[in-house]
Chain A
Amino acid sequence: AAEPWPENAALYQQLKEEQILLSDNASSLAVQAFLQMCNLPVRVVCRANAEYMSPSGKVPFIHVGNQVVSELGPIVQFVKAKGHSLSDGLDEVQKAEMKAYMELVNNMLLTAELYLQWCDDVTVEEITHPRYGSPYPWPLNRILSYQKQWEIRRKMKAIGWAGKSLEQVLEDVDQCCQALSQRLGTQPYFFNKQPTELDALVFGHLFTILTTQLTTDELSEKVKNYGNLTAFCRRIEQQYFEGHKDNSATAAAGSAKRSLLR
């Protein structure tokens, strides 16, 4: 029999104010949103070495009882095994659609975020390098940043993104947002009345893009073009994050934050 969800479940990510980067913040927020939607309490713990503690090398990861699970996909399955699921009400075709859209977000939005952080020289110099290694003394901070950058660039090259220009990446983000916007339409959530893990994932990425200050505003402008997407983010923020000061999305990382409720 599955054990009940313990009170002291913890979600680990990097340091909010100084260290965490756009893509990791988005992933972490997606998981937080998902757990909130399932009504499962979790406290957010910030550690500089969160990435190294994680079993798959990626943040966020959750520590529940004596198990450690990382990344949204496995966490969704883990939570399902404990008896909580957001997508049980969907039929087979809808589940297929949901998985397809989640892949789209991962494929386009997450990769675009990584590209911007690690392959765009201006952003790398001004934001990524200073932030990524900030908890560590020189020269370790520089070494870690360069190592990570090299790794990400290799991956980008393997999937064919290395040759893209920033404009092309932004265009891809635009297409992705357009697709999401069209799918959402005028519904409150992607599958009408109830939020699912897809809503959590989309919220995590879009909210982070909208509220993180980068060297330019182009990325967030792309998202802002779609009114129903910004309304969607606002709705989820209000419903699931108001009144939870510790887990509040507005306290999440990045440089100066701009609240959506303006």
Chain B
Amino acid sequence: LQAYAKFSGAPLTVNTINNSWRPPKGDVPVLISEDIVISQPAKILNFLRKQKYNADYELSAKQGADTLAYIALLEEKLLPALLHTFWVEAENYCSVTKPWFASRIPFPLSLYLPGKMSREALNRILLTRGGPPLFSLTEVEAQIYRDAKECLNLLSKRLGTSQFFFGNTPTTLDAFVFGFLAPVYKVCFPRVQLQEHLKQLPNLCRFCDDILTCYFRLTVSGHSPSGQDTADANLQKLTQLVNKESNLIEKMDDNLRKSPQHPPRKLTTLKLAAGGEESSPLNRLSP
């Protein structure tokens, strides 16, 4: 989501959310614009599009269709493995994911919420991928990692040597792929088979690095000058993006077709237009 916002030039400032009770249903991320609270990634994107920040203006119809197809591929093949790496794999969960989340959420939610997300992730994996002939969790795990590696290979082939998926400007698909890949690439997990596989695909690594340096102003190693904390916060937001991406696919194409098509606007013209309603301090994206 943040990547999309940056691509389309929307003025957003990011606030670390430290209280998960604030969003109406405990959903993150949340966009607050002048008292309108929007809580699902898909609706946030809808809102951004309607406010005329559209990164897909330049795409042809066929490319729009391709975007939808690739997003389906990502969701089906890559997402289960991502969920598993973050939430189900015992070592990863205990040593990285849980402390991260717990450190940002106040007690007593910190006891409950990570566990709930972990259970939901496992549930989702088992229900969608765990049918016969795969009967044990280890077999399911093996299969989803195989699928994820194949998916990464496919993405790498599709990207080839170009800078973004559709030429020289980033689009929704780039935002999606980045949202999925960046956490895998940057987060230091004890068990890293997916990360290792990703590192063998240099064009995907370059893709992530490019977006991080251009749009997120982090140095390539992932540590910003202001210290580990900011990097952690950013990476945590990316993690949450991963967990919520499932809603995005259902709404994306709707916006591609229906919202008014305008070229992406720069920050400065925005402040002049729209009666000054969207000045930056009022738009806060809480991760």
List chain A positions with a Cβ less than 8 A from chain B: 55-58, 92-93, 95-97, 99-101, 103-104, 106-108, 154-155, 158-160, 164, 168, 171-172, 175-176, 178-180, 182-183, 185
- Tell me if B127 and A107 are in contact (CB < 8 A): no
Q: Which residue of B lies closest to A169 (CB)?
A: B250
Q: How many A-B residue pairs have CB under 8 A?
A: 89
- Tell me if A100 and B128 are in contact (CB < 8 A): no
Task: Pick out which of these stretches binds chain A: B12-20, B57-65, B96-104, B264-272.
Answer: B57-65
Residue numbers in B under 8 Å from A176 (CB-CB): 68
**Given A55-B132, A92-B157, A159-B124, A99 contacting B62 (CB threshold 8 A):** no
Q: Which residue of B lies closest to A92 (CB)?
A: B157
Question: What are the interface flags for B243-278 relative to A under an 8 Å C-beta threshold, 1 for contact and 0 otherwise?
Answer: 000110110011001000000000000000000000
- Tell me if B253 and A178 are in contact (CB < 8 A): yes
- Tell me if B131 and A56 are in contact (CB < 8 A): yes
- Tell me if A172 and B250 are in contact (CB < 8 A): yes
Determine which of A57, A96, A179 lies in contact with B253 in the assembled complex, contact meaning CB atoms within 8 Å: A179
A-B contact pairs, 14 of them (CB 8 A): A56-B133, A57-B132, A99-B154, A100-B73, A101-B69, A103-B75, A104-B72, A107-B75, A158-B124, A158-B128, A159-B127, A180-B65, A182-B61, A183-B66
Residue numbers in B under 8 Å from A183 (CB-CB): 62, 65-66, 69
* Min CB gap B164→A, angstroms: 15
List chain B positions with a Cβ less than 8 A from chain A: 61-62, 64-66, 68-70, 72-73, 75-77, 120, 123-124, 127-128, 131-133, 154-155, 157-158, 160, 246-247, 249-250, 253-254, 257
- Tell me if A96 and B72 are in contact (CB < 8 A): no
- Tell me if B253 and A100 are in contact (CB < 8 A): no
Q: What is the bound-complex CA distance between A23 and B249, given in angstroms?
A: 22
Determine which of A58, A93, A179 lies in contact with B157 in the assembled complex, contact meaning CB atoms within 8 Å: A93
**Given A96-B154, A96-B157, A182-B64, A175 contacting B124 (CB threshold 8 A):** no
**Given A171-B254, A175-B253, A179-B69, A97 contacting B132 (CB threshold 8 A):** no
- Tell me if B132 and A56 are in contact (CB < 8 A): yes
Q: Which residue of B lies closest to A101 (CB)?
A: B69
**Given A92-B157, A100-B73, A179 contacting B68 (CB threshold 8 A):** yes
Residue numbers in A under 8 Å from B250 (CB-CB): 160, 164, 168, 172
- Tell me if B66 and A97 are in contact (CB < 8 A): yes
Q: What is the bound-complex CA distance between A178 and B73, given in angstroms?
A: 17
Q: Which residue of A lies closest to B151 (CB)?
A: A99
* Min CB gap B59→A, angstroms: 11
Q: Which residue of B lies closest to A96 (CB)?
A: B154
Determine which of A155, A164, A168, A175 lies in contact with B127 in the assembled complex, contact meaning CB atoms within 8 Å: A155
- Tell me if A182 and B76 are in contact (CB < 8 A): no
Q: What is the bound-complex CA distance between A111 and B201, given in angstroms?
A: 32
Q: What is the bound-complex CA distance between A103 and B150, given in angstroms?
A: 13
Q: A103-B75, A107-B249, A185-B62 are in contact. List 9 more A-B contacts (CB 8 A).
A: A57-B131, A96-B154, A99-B154, A104-B73, A107-B75, A155-B128, A171-B254, A172-B250, A182-B64
Residue numbers in B under 8 Å from A175 (CB-CB): 68, 253-254, 257
* Min CB gap B117→A, angstroms: 13
- Tell me if B73 and A99 are in contact (CB < 8 A): yes
- Tell me if B246 and A160 are in contact (CB < 8 A): yes
Residue numbers in A under 8 Å from B123 (CB-CB): 158
Q: What is the bound-complex CA distance between A253 and B256, given in angstroms?
A: 36
Residue numbers in A under 8 Å from B75 (CB-CB): 103, 107
Residue numbers in A under 8 Å from B246 (CB-CB): 159-160
Q: Which residue of B lies closest to A108 (CB)?
A: B72
Q: What is the bound-complex CA distance between A115 and B207, given in angstroms?
A: 37
Residue numbers in A under 8 Å from B155 (CB-CB): 96
Residue numbers in B under 8 Å from A178 (CB-CB): 65, 253, 257
Q: What is the bound-complex CA distance between A108 and B254, given in angstroms?
A: 13
- Tell me if B158 and A96 are in contact (CB < 8 A): yes
Q: Which residue of B lies closest to A70 (CB)?
A: B133
Q: Which residue of B lies closest to A74 (CB)?
A: B133
Determine which of A58, A93, A103, A158 lies in contact with B73 in the assembled complex, contact meaning CB atoms within 8 Å: A103
Q: What is the bound-complex CA distance between A58 and B131, given in angstroms?
A: 10
Q: Which residue of B lies closest to A183 (CB)?
A: B65
- Tell me if A103 and B154 are in contact (CB < 8 A): no
Q: Which residue of B lies closest to A156 (CB)?
A: B127
Q: Which residue of A lies closest to B155 (CB)?
A: A96
Residue numbers in A under 8 Å from B132 (CB-CB): 55-57
Q: What is the bound-complex CA distance between A85 and B200, given in angstroms?
A: 29
Q: What is the bound-complex CA distance between A158 and B68, given in angstroms?
A: 21
- Tell me if B158 and A182 are in contact (CB < 8 A): no
Q: What is the bound-complex CA distance between A38 and B124, given in angstroms?
A: 36
